[in-house]
Each structure stands twice: as structure tokens, then as C-alpha cells.
């Protein structure tokens, strides 16, 4: 066989293999259905309209898996990737990855919608922060935390969700004063005191009363590292009317100084969403 004929045969074989690979790829792709829905939170168990959503969820369905990825509507940054047993209703089953600004912040496993096995959490810079263990959605076993450089920072033990022992350590391994991994920001006096604050200070706008406008306003705000309230705004799609929305913002902005939230002993900004009810009594 001449050289040119050999080259032609090889080229034919090459094109046949390429065509076969394209066909296999096309068949595999055709078996996966992809759709997009809108949700108010990455933890949402129901869909909503785009106007009232904060995230969009890209769902992939095939014969062997159900997977969904949640993205922030504002900047399209990835928030989480999760595997499911079903989408209707939503039941997580399989690996779960959480992101902050598209950088992995935690990962673990769900079994029938309950956290199971080892869950790992990461510093924003990528180093392992701490590990927890869950059985049927309840914390059990050892929680171990680390400095960014790898030394053990804390060891806690849990049984049926209750902490039985806890120790924190210096980088040199010496026992030191214990502090929580995370603690939420706290209104002075607690939740009950905050409800009393709104009952006392919220002023129902006269024009809203006259027009019989009522409902529940959802307000988002940040508690800064010094405990002051900042960045107050209405949650997208969760306002009622400018008259009520503006009064909810005014009252929230005038709240007293909070106890700030802490993360591993350091004060951190915490974003909070608060429901404020405007209900008229006949």
C-alpha cells in the first residue's frame, strides 16, 4: 500500500473515532435535563418568582443523579452545590459543598436530608478550620479545630447534640481559656427585649392606617464588629409598601448597640434578617 493510501486510511480511522466520540457525548448529554428555578435562600425548600428571589438554582436531572447549584442573583457567584433524592419536595442526599464568593467554605454529606458523617469547614483563605461529626442530623463525636498553620486549636466532644467537654489550645499546645467557634450577635436583653423594642418604638404611619395597608416587612441589616447596626435595607421582594418599609428601616436603624458576633474568638460582622409586622386591629 502506498504511503498516501496509508495516510488516507489513518485519516478515515481518525474521523470515524472522532465521530463515535461525538455521538457518545451527544447521547450522554441528551440524557441529562437542565433547568433553572428561583429561590429566596439557598436553604429554600420551594421555588419562587425571579422578582422576589435572591438566588437562581440550576438543576441537573439524569437517570442516575439529581444535582443543583445555587448562584447569587446579584453577581452570579456560586453559593452551593448539592445532590438530591428529589426536587419535589427538595430532599438532599449526597455530597454538599458551600461557597462564599465562589470559594469553598464547607463540605459534607446529607443522608435523607440529614447531615451525616464528617463535615469540614475552611478559612476564607482555604486552610482547614474545623471538623464536625454528625449522625442523623445530630452532632456526635469529636469537633476538632485548627490554626491556619495546622496546629490543633480546639477539641470538643458531643453526645446526642450535647457538648460533654471542650478545650482550646495555644499554637504551642497549651490549654487556654475556652471560646465558642461561633456566636451570633445579640440584641441587649435578648430576643424578648428586641420584640419589646419594636412594640414600643415602631410607629404605624397614619397614611398607611387610613389606606388599610398592612403586612410583614423583612429587613436585612449588619451588626458591625463594634455592635452598631449598619447597611439596613428591605429584603428584595419582601417589602409591603414604601410607607411601612421606610418606618421599618427607621426603627431598625435606631436600635441600641448589640453584642457583636464572634468567630473563633474574633468579632465579626453578622448579617441578620428581621420580620417586622404591621397589623391593624379593626
Q: Is the pTM of this model over 0.85?
A: no
155 lies in a domain? yes
Structural domains counted in the chain? 2
4 has pLDDT over 70: no
Q: In this predicted model, what pLDDT tens digit does every residue of 158-195 receive, in sequence order?
A: 999 999 999 999 999 999 999 999 999 999 999 999 99
Same domain, 39 and 132: yes
**Angstrom distance (rounded) from CA 115 to CA 134:** 6
Residue 211's domain spans which residues? 191-278
Same domain, 49 and 121: yes
156, 181, 206 - which closes a domain: 181
The rounded mean pLDDT for the chain is 89
Same domain, 172 and 238: no
247 lies in a domain? yes
Same domain, 220 and 94: no
Work out the pLDDT band at 206, boundaries 50, 70, 90.
very high
14 lies in a domain? no
Same domain, 46 and 91: yes
Same domain, 108 and 244: no
82 lies in a domain? yes
181, 209, 233 - which closes a domain: 181
HSE at residue 206, side-chain half, CA atoms within 13 A, is 0
Please state the φ and ψ torsions of residue 231, each to the nearest 5 degrees: 55, 50
For the chain, what percent of residues have pLDDT higher than 70?
89
Buried b / exposed e along 253-282 (16+ C-beta atoms within 10 A): eebeebebbbebeebeebebebebebeeee
Amino acid at each position: 500500500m502506498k504511503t498516501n493510501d496509508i495516510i488516507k486510511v489513518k485519516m478515515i480511522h481518525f474521523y470515524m473515532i472522532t465521530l463515535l466520540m461525538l455521538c457518545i457525548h451527544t447521547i450522554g448529554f441528551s440524557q441529562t435535563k437542565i433547568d433553572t428555578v428561583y429561590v429566596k435562600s439557598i436553604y429554600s425548600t420551594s421555588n419562587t418568582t425571579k422578582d422576589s428571589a435572591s438566588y437562581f438554582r440550576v438543576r441537573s436531572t439524569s437517570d442516575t443523579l439529581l444535582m443543583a447549584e445555587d448562584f447569587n442573583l446579584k453577581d452570579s457567584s456560586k453559593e452551593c452545590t448539592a445532590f438530591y433524592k428529589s426536587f419535589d419536595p427538595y430532599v438532599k442526599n449526597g455530597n454538599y459543598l458551600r461557597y462564599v464568593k465562589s470559594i469553598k467554605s464547607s463540605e459534607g454529606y446529607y443522608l435523607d436530608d440529614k447531615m451525616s458523617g464528617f463535615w469540614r469547614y475552611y478559612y476564607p483563605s482555604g486552610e482547614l478550620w474545623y471538623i464536625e461529626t454528625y449522625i442523623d442530623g445530630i452532632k456526635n463525636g469529636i469537633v476538632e479545630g485548627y490554626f491556619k498553620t495546622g496546629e490543633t486549636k480546639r477539641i470538643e466532644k458531643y453526645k446526642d447534640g450535647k457538648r460533654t467537654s471542650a478545650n482550646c489550645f495555644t499554637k504551642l499546645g497549651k490549654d487556654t481559656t475556652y471560646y465558642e467557634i461561633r456566636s451570633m450577635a445579640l440584641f441587649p436583653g435578648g430576643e424578648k427585649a428586641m420584640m419589646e423594642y419594636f412594640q414600643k418604638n415602631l410607629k404605624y404611619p397614619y397614611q398607611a392606617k387610613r389606606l388599610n395597608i398592612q403586612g410583614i416587612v423583612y429587613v436585612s441589616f449588619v451588626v458591625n464588629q463594634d455592635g452598631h447596626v449598619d447597611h439596613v435595607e428591605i429584603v428584595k421582594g419582601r417589602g409591603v409598601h414604601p410607607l411601612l418599609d421606610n418606618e421599618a428601616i427607621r426603627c431598625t436603624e435606631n436600635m441600641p448597640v448589640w453584642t457583636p458576633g464572634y468567630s473563633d474568638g474574633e468579632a465579626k460582622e453578622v448579617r441578620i434578617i428581621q420580620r417586622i409586622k404591621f397589623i391593624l386591629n379593626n
